[in-house]
């Protein structure tokens, strides 16, 4: 399994709009992508401005295809709430109790 971690700074007072954008625009688009498994989004509990979204993919190739194809559309959707360009990190998933993955 493969993961994409996206970190972004939110504009002031945009947490509710960010959540709505994820629910109405981003997640429906992700669900249409081949190999997409799950999306988890984190918001700051202390009133900060950094949001983190982690998407899980069957294979790296699926995540790469999403990056080339649909991700530019996602960037347009989150541009209204993100301050600057989101930063993307890719990772191999080594353990997950939810997805029932054990270390190799």
Whether 98 is in a domain gets the answer: no
Per-residue pLDDT of 5-59, as tens digits, reads 999 999 999 999 999 999 999 999 999 999 999 999 999 888 789 999 999 999 9
Whether 102 is in a domain gets the answer: no
Our count of domains for the chain comes to: 1
Per-residue pLDDT of 73-103, as tens digits, reads 999 999 999 999 999 999 999 888 876 666 6
Q: DSSP string covering 36-63, please?
A: EEEEEEE--TTS-SEEEEEEEESSHHHH
Domain that holds residue 9: 2-92
């Amino acid at each position: 399994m493969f993961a994409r971690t996206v970190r972004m700074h939110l504009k002031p007072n945009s947490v509710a709009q960010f959540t709505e954008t994820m629910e109405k625009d981003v997640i429906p688009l992700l669900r249409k992508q081949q190999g997409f498994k799950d999306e988890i989004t984190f918001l700051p509990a202390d009133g900060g401005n950094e949001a983190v979204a982690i998407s899980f993919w069957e294979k790296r190739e699926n995540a790469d295809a999403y990056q080339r194809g649909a991700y530019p559309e996602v960037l347009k959707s989150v541009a209204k709430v993100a301050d600057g360009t989101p930063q993307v990190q890719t990772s191999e998933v080594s353990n997950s109790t939810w997805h029932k993955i054990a270390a190799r």
